[in-house]
Amino acid sequence: MSGTGEQGRADAPQGDAAPRRTRSGGPATIYDVADLAGVNPSTVSRALGKPGRVSAKTEARIRAAAAELDFRMNPMARALPTGRTNTLGLVVADITNPMVFGVVRGAEQAASQAGFTLVIAESQESGEAEATAIERILPGVDGIVLATTRLASDRISRLAAHKPVVLINRAVDGVPSVLPDVDTGVGDLVAHLDEHGHRTVAFLAGPTASWMSERRWAALLDAAEARGIAIVEIGPNPPTIDGGRAAYRRLRASHATAAIAYNDLMAIGVMQEAAAHGVDVPGELSVAGFDDIFGSELIVPALTTVRAQLVLAGERAVGQLLAMVGANGHDLPDDLLATTLVVRGSTGPAASA
């Protein structure tokens, strides 16, 4: 006999069809199946692993036995010899940020479709917490998707040297990533504002550690300069509704006629604060955001925003990862994800100064 393994709560009646005659009372193993089928355990392993490695007759017998015993392979036991866990990790900064929903859904779908399990960890917008979370899930996964990382580039590189890593909305040398075509959306947005007579706009930046905030700002700067529009950066700010509200005063002080927030959450905060101050949007102030999250078209006026393909991003990221761990055959497009300007009610003609 061995050590522990007291997982056999074989009290409750089995209910359906699971006659259970396993050695230890616990879940059936390939040994039990092998006994029942009259073959060697290794044959069971082969039959249930890759098809065709065993004769049709025996395979049928084995499958029947497995079904009768309600056998399911123990993933931990399988992971030990192979080193592959069939599990992927997804790390996000804030799981209640609607922006991540799409990513999570896309990732979960792609993963489960490939027979992989997805473990998710939240970093609460803190680099340290993120490092800890990664540390914790790392040994149990075959690869990791970092969706909104606040980690320094060198830490990411170091991580990527050990395990397959795919980044979303973040570029680090030598590490594969899924990125949106920021320039197009931003170009359209700035053109839209320009056409409506805005000559001075403000960008409400996100957190310092947000690569994407940098990137959006850079694109904005290019586009604004090209059109001779004055632009200022206000921030950094927390990428939340409250972050947007808190930045409102500085925004107004800048006398910008249009505000572009790092994300929709912040844009919503700005709009709420404007409403609280009796400032009409878009009459006295135009507001735009990024991502097009759930809620952006609910608010009044509905938010003009640069839509990102979040579900696709999640899908592609795990697709990449699966390819890196050698788990699929798909060809992965590596082009940037298209970005679209969605014009709604929160932007309009510049207030006459």
Burial track 288-322 (b if 16+ CB lie within 10 A, e otherwise):
bbbbbbeebeebebebbbbbbbbbbbbbbbbbbbb
Q: What is the DSSP string of 215-279?
A: HHHHHHHHHHHHHT-EEEEE----SSHHHHHHHHHHHHHTT-SEEEESSHHHHHHHHHHHHHTT-
Tokens, residue 126: 């803190």
CA 12 to chain centroid, in Å, comes to 40
Shortest Å, Cβ 113 to DNA? 20
How far apart CA 110 and CA 100 sit, in angstroms, is 15
Shortest Å, Cβ 122 to a copy of itself? 5
Binding-site size, a copy of itself (CB under 8 A): 63
User: According to CB under 8 A, which one of 102, 143, 206, 207 is a site residue for a copy of itself?
Assistant: 102
Contact at 8 Å (CB) between 203 and 174? no
Place of tokens 């497995």: 66
Shortest Å, Cβ 131 to DNA? 20
Q: Does 16 bind a copy of itself (CB under 8 A)?
A: yes
Q: Does 76 bind a copy of itself (CB under 8 A)?
A: yes
From 14-22, 231-239, 245-253, 340-348, span contacting a copy of itself (CB under 8 A): 14-22
Question: In sequence order, what are the residues at sequence separation of 6 or more whose Cβ sits closer than 8 angstroms to the Cβ of residue 53?
Answer: 46, 47
From 46-54, 118-126, 180-188, 245-253, span contacting a copy of itself (CB under 8 A): 118-126
Burial track 32-58 (b if 16+ CB lie within 10 A, e otherwise):
bbbbbbebeeebbbbbbeeeeebeeeb
User: According to CB under 8 A, which one of 21, 40, 51, 154 is a site residue for a copy of itself?
Assistant: 154
Tokens, residue 61: 């017998």
Between 1 and 17, name the residue whose CB sits nearer to DNA.
1
Q: Does 133 bind a copy of itself (CB under 8 A)?
A: yes
Q: Does 19 bind a copy of itself (CB under 8 A)?
A: no
Shortest Å, Cβ 335 to a copy of itself? 25
* List of residues contacting DNA (CB under 7 A): 1-5, 24, 26-27, 29-31, 38-43, 45-46, 48-49, 52-55, 57-59, 73-74, 77-78, 80-82
Contact residues for a copy of itself, defined by CB under 8 A: 2-7, 9, 11-16, 26-27, 72-77, 79-83, 85, 87, 95-96, 98, 101-102, 104-105, 108-109, 112, 115, 117-122, 133, 135-140, 154, 157-158, 161-162, 268, 294-295, 298-300
